[in-house]
Structure 1
Amino acid sequence: MAGFFDTLFGGGAEREAAEKNRALAAQYQTSALDYLKTGYGTGTDAINKGVAAYDPLAALGVKYSAAGDTWLNALGVNGADGSARATQAFQTTPGYELTQRAALDAIDRRRAIGGMYASGNADQDTANWITKNLYETQYQPWMSGLQSAAGMGGQYTAGAAQGQQQGYTSLADLARNYGLDQSNVANNYMGQNVSANNMQAAGEAAGAKNLLGAGLSLAGMAFGGGGGGMLSSLGGMFGGGGSTLNSSPWSFPMATAGGNWGRPQVSYG
């Protein structure tokens, strides 16, 4: 604790208060930044989990969107190579071979009944029937399924993208707010230190004024004022034009009548 004279002339009380305020401001800054960091970490973890929850939907969108590529190939959009890939994909569907075998078996039975095994017309009829049957029962539904799957793939992809975008937007907002909060803490800390510095400076300035005022008062007591100053006291020790110092029982003749100083004569009594 500052002493009396340090407080009076050196701004000691204000300096101690300013130092305490600086210490409290530093503690506030450390605690506030720790709290903000913890909150930011918790927030980012939660948002990232929310974004990750859309991953299965995004993966499903990728799978369904692959049907869209095959559909476009079947439409001839991607050229001859694309069409060939679409044909190969269709021929590998589970219903393609099953339908073809069933159609052939049915035709063979009909031909056997009619005795038309070697007939060219029967072979053409078989080919036409298989083509018509495959197209109507397999290819058209297959194309419709590809189109539907492509649309679902787009919906799944869009839904996942929208959800993830919202999560990333929340992350960006959280990061921006985190930066603003850190800036506010820094501004508060700076403001507290500025106030502490001003307090200390004001105390030291007041102490300097007190010291100056005390010095002037001492000077006034020494050199005049109220008829009782030191110089007045000294002047009273000399006679008003006299030639002896009468402040003691000793007498000291100081000058002759002609104004010349003579040898001092000391007498007592």
Structure 2
Amino acid sequence: MFGLDKLTSGKDGRDAAKAMSDVLVNTRDSALQSIDRGTNRAVADLGQARNVYRGAQRNQLDALRSGYDTARDYGQRAYDAFTPYTNAGRNAFGQYQDAIGMNGADGRTRALAAFQAGPGYQWQVDQATDAAARKASALGLTASGNTLDAITRLGSNLANQEYGSYLDRLNGVSQMGYNATGQQAGALRDLGTVATGYGRDRASVYGQTAGNIAQTYGQQAGYHSGAGNAGGQLIANIGQGLANAASQNELAGQQAAANRAGLLMSGLQLGASVLGGGFGGGMGGGLGSLFGGGGGLTGSNWNTGNGTVPAGMTMNYGGR
């Protein structure tokens, strides 16, 4: 009646505090779910970034491998192109060592067996001996010992010259092989440089990819840390709000109790005022006016010992 039940129960205050608590809990749950979704999306994107880095690494390594294989193929071709010259030079150098006596008697034997006069040698010998014989015949010395000795010395000199020329040819082939060996060494050096560069570039690709992937993991850790901090701060804020709501709920109960106490005190004060007015101005004027206003209680005596009305006294209830 007249809202006194609400005033003295505190229900509205507690309902408001509960509604506030529900809103805060729902807000907290929704916010935490949003943080989780955002973090998961960011982590998923970073996972895709790592896959892209790994794919780029494979492509770079494939390109490096292709370039290295091509360079190695050309280098090997260059090396192989000089192989016939190095083989010939190696053989010629061995024969040259045999011919000049570096390999002992066996080597000299091999040198003599291997020696072949040039195609023009025999023609040169024939021409020289024929010329000497014709000259001796013209002088009438064809069968003389001097003529035969001269022809022999001529053939021997020509043979020595041919052998010397043979050694020069061996030395030339040997030198050619030496030069070809130098070219092959250069080709091998180039191949080594290519291989070194290939290894260095591969290491660089691995290092770059590792750095990029490590960076994404660092970012992922940062997202998790940021989400944890944001969630913790959110929970702290919501907790404070919930504490405030609980406090308001408690205050609503306390206020309702205070309202009830206030009403009780007001009632007691009202009763005291009424009773005080009745006894102070006479029972007839106080309680008489309260119960209907006639003359109140009449007579000059009131027996309070047993609650009876003395003889000759009546109570007036306002004509009722």
Q: Give TM class, smaller chain.
A: 0.7 to 0.9
C-alpha distance in structure 2 between counterparts of 1:105 and 1:99, whole Å: 10
Aligned to 2:152: 127
Alignment match of 2:249 (pick from 230, 238, 261): 230
Give 1:239 deviation, angstroms: 5.0
- 1:8 Cα deviation from its structure 2 partner: 1.9
Larger fraction in helix: 2
Q: 1:15 aligns with which of 8, 22, 40?
A: 40
- The within-5 A match list for 1:1-269 is 8-10=31-33, 11-12=35-36, 13-30=38-55, 32-51=56-75, 52-91=77-116, 93-100=118-125, 114=140, 116-117=142-143, 120-136=145-161, 138-223=162-247, 229-238=248-257
Would you say the 8 A contact 2:86–2:180 is kept in 1?
yes
Which residue type is aligned with residue 49 of structure 1? D
C-alpha displacement of 1:244: 9.0
Superposed CA deviations along residues 19-78 of structure 1, whole A, max 9, x for unmatched, are 212222222222x12221221122112211221223112331221332222222211111
Cα separation, partners in 2 of 1:241 and 1:7, compared to 1, 3 Å: closer
- CA-CA distance at 1:95 after TM superposition: 4.4
What SS does structure 2 have at the residue aligned with 1:53?
Answer: helix
8 Å contact 2:32–2:231 — kept in the other structure?
yes
Q: Structure 2: which amino acid aligns with 1:69?
A: G
Change (3 A) 1:50 1:7: farther
Question: Could you say what secondary structure the match of 1:206 adopts?
Answer: helix
State the distance in 2 between where 1:182 and 1:239 align.
76
1:160 match: secondary structure:
helix
- Long gaps (5+) in structure 2: 1-26, 266-320
SS at match of 2:61: helix
Alpha carbons 1:100, 1:130 under 8 Å: kept: yes
Q: Is contact 2:89–2:174 with CA below 8 Å preserved after alignment?
A: yes
Q: Structure 1 pair 81/95, CA: closer, same or farther in 2 (3 Å)?
A: farther
Alpha-carbon distance in structure 1 between the residues aligned to 2:74 and 2:99? 38
Unpaired runs of 5+ residues, structure 1, are: 224-228, 247-269
- Range moving further from structure 2, 95-104 or 196-205: 95-104
* TM, length-normalised to structure 1: 0.74
Give the drift of 1:5.
5.6
Counterpart of 1:43, as a letter, is: G
Between the aligned partners of 1:121 and 1:77, the Cα distance in structure 2 is 38
Q: State percent identity of aligned pairs.
A: 21
Q: Following TM superposition, by how much is the alpha carbon of 1:103 offset from its aligned partner in structure 2, in angstroms?
A: 5.3
When normalised by structure 2's length, the TM-score is 0.63
Distance 1:67 1:239, change over 3 A: closer
